[in-house]
Chains A and B, each alone.
Chain A
Amino acid sequence: MVRSALSRTTVYILLSLGAVLMLLPFVWMISTSLKAPNEVMAMPPVWVPTEWKFENFTEAMKVAPFDRYFINSVIVTLVSTIGELLTTILAAYAFSRLNFYGRDIVFAILLGTMMVPSEVLLIPNFVTLSNLGWVDTYSALIVPWTASVFAIFLLRQYFLGIPKELSFAAKVDGCSEFKFLWYVMAPLAKPALITVALLKVINSWNAFLWPIIVTNSQELRTLPVGLSAFTTEAGIKYELLMAASSMVIFPMLILFFIMQKYIVAGVARTGLKG
């Protein structure tokens, strides 16, 4: 008994130590973002600022238009998420409920594309966008990301689990197939749709390589791109850099705290098929 109590304690100590290491960068970021310049470089480090400098945030916004970046990120994230949900619902319905020539081949080809790293697609996609005249537009940031094979696959699996009898009943009641999809199937698949949407929001909000390549003008920068440019614009003012980083990180942290259950379940589900 003594031995198991000891190992219990060890488990808690190790887990807490790990948790501290995970949290430390965030704590340090927030702490630095609220410090006066003379405390930022203090040694030994000051953990709690003697005077809370919320002005650092407004100061950072003066150096770079973070409000504009924020709006851009919101637009790009919202529109590409809604777009992906629409294309996914339609495609997943076809793959799970309709029988048609070439269904298995088309599905297999789509699954096959998941093996190709998206970095490989970068160059031809850039060429396509410049031929369309889309470089440095919202379309370039949004349109290529409004369909996802992973999302279609996930939703198709979910749709397959919804009893077929429902659609017969709907047919008898004179409900059209299209209406049935939007008013019955989609609401029933809400957990899967929320998972798809949340993973999309996180990816879209944090995307960096694609937006940095397809945009040039400052007005079109998303938060990560703006933040990366800010490192040269702000110089070595760490309190401003940390304030700017907080502005990029906080929205996703808040979303995570509210929707944690769905995000964790979604990630766990992606692993179970292994």
Chain B
Amino acid sequence: MMDKPTWNSTLKAFLYLLPALLILIVFNIYPIIKSFLMSFYTEYDFYNDIVYKYGLSNFSDILNDPNFIKAVINTTVFVIGVVPISIITSLAIAVMLNSKVKGLSFFRTIYFLPFVTSVVAVAIVWSWIFHSDYGLLNYFLGWFGIDPIQWLTDPTYSMPALIILSVWKGLGFNIIIFLAGLQNINRQYYLAAQVDGASAWHRFLSVTLPLLSPTMFFISIISIINAFKVFDEIFALFNGTAGPANSTLTVVYYVYQKFYEEWEFGLASAAAFVLFIIVFLFTLIQLSLGKKFVHYQ
């Protein structure tokens, strides 16, 4: 069946591809190009789809907008807060789960639960837990003599609250993927290391970590990219705002504000384009670093 391509086979193949391509071209490929173009629209009539003027002013406008700068800084803080905590915790749990514990599937199920649940719903549950007077978290902190914290109304604590929710939500996904990676490591490497008298910690550092590097690499990319796109959590946790005093305004939230609240399509597109560039650069950095440090078995 894998004969040489002919015009006939090409026609047939495109008939098979037609439904998928139609949707993907209209809602995936065209908007990528359009979004790039729209970021240069400076005068634009959205209702009649007429562009009066092109220019770079959208980009200079958002770069001079203190809110956009704040959004970029907040997003960076969020990424730096969530990704390392999430990766270290999930790796530790995955390693423990992989040490022939009883009830592996029981624990795995529990850790994975948040992954299948609606971000909006769990964020509302967490906003109840973060409640300053009657919230569970402040109640537990009270056991250690810590005074009630205004998690959702004090700009200092809104970002930590968002980070706690996001780590909790994303842990299960990382654990599953780390477990799959750990189970792929050949047992013989451990036996060899054991024969050589390597301690458990030593085995972890010189066998597990290097052999797990492809998985680590994949999880880092996915986590960083996903963290850059955070939105639902913020919207639901802070009741349709970007947190007290814009303290959890992120790039996607900024895009949403410009687009949906202010109808500034050009500015919103420019901000979305900056998000794309950031995500793209991180992917490139990761790819080039990955080539150097990742050991494939």
Interface residues, chain A, with chain B CB atoms under 8 Å away = 11-12, 14-15, 18-19, 21-26, 28-29, 32, 40-45, 86-88, 90-91, 93-95, 97-103, 106, 109-110, 113, 115-117, 119-128, 131, 143-144, 146-147, 149, 152, 164, 167-168, 202, 205-206, 208-209, 213, 223-224, 227-228, 231-232, 238, 241-242, 245, 248-249, 252-253, 255-257, 260, 263-264, 267-274
Contacts and interface: CB of A to CB of B under 8 A. Distances in A.
A26 B46 CA distance: 44
Given A41-B134, A90-B17, A120 B128 contact: no
A40 to B, nearest CB: 7
Max chain B Cβ within 10 angstroms of own Cβ: one of A95, A98, A270: A98
Interface stretch (B19-27, B70-78, B79-87, B151-159): B19-27
A274 B3 contact: no
B116 A255 contact: yes
Contacts of B235: 208, 228
Nearest to B225: A117
Interface in B165-215: 168, 171-173, 176-177, 179-181, 184, 214-215
B276 interface: yes
Contacts of A41: 133-134
Interface residues of B, number: 103
A235 B275 CA distance: 35
Given A23-B110, A101-B10, A241-B124, A122 B259 contact: yes
A2 B177 CA distance: 32
A108 B210 CA distance: 30
Contacts of B19: 86-87, 90-91, 146-147
Contact of A120 (B2, B110, B136, B273): B273
Contacts, number: 289
Contacts of B283: 115
B260 to A, nearest CB: 6
Given A119-B272, A248-B118, A267 B176 contact: yes
30 contacts: A19-B107, A19-B111, A25-B114, A25-B126, A44-B139, A45-B134, A86-B19, A93-B16, A97-B1, A99-B5, A100-B10, A103-B5, A103-B13, A119-B272, A123-B255, A124-B34, A127-B46, A128-B27, A146-B19, A147-B27, A164-B2, A206-B119, A206-B120, A213-B259, A213-B260, A223-B118, A238-B128, A267-B115, A270-B177, A271-B218
B137 to A, nearest CB: 10
Interface in B232-279: 232, 235-236, 239-240, 252, 255-256, 259-260, 265, 268-269, 272-273, 275-276, 279
A249 B275 CA distance: 30
Contacts of A232: 239-240
A26 B239 CA distance: 20
Chain A, interface SS category? helix
A208 B119 contact: yes
A86 B12 CA distance: 17
Given A44-B139, A94-B16, A144 B23 contact: yes
A149 B24 contact: yes
A102 to B, nearest CB: 7
Contacts of A99: 2-5, 9, 13
Given A113-B24, A115-B280, A122-B272, A164 B177 contact: no
Given A90-B19, A117-B225, A267-B177, A22 B116 contact: no
Given A18-B93, A260-B109, A209 B23 contact: no
A22 B272 contact: no
Contacts of B265: 123, 127
Contacts of B214: 274
Contact of B177 (A106, A253, A268): A268
Interface in B107-156: 107-122, 124-126, 128-129, 131, 133-134, 136, 139
A99 B6 CA distance: 8
Given A22-B110, A91-B20, 8 more contacts: A41-B134, A117-B275, A122-B272, A123-B38, A152-B20, A228-B240, A271-B177, A274-B219
Nearest to A198: B116
Contact of B272 (A123, A168, A227, A256): A123
A124 B35 contact: yes
B23 A143 contact: yes
A119 B229 contact: yes
Given A29-B125, A264-B108, A271-B180, A146 B23 contact: yes
B33 to A, nearest CB: 8
Q: Give the top 3 A-B pairs by smallest Cβ distance, nearest first.
A: A274-B218, A271-B177, A124-B31
B28 A121 contact: yes
B32 interface: yes
A273 B172 CA distance: 18
Nearest to A252: B116
B254 to A, nearest CB: 11
Contacts of B115: 267
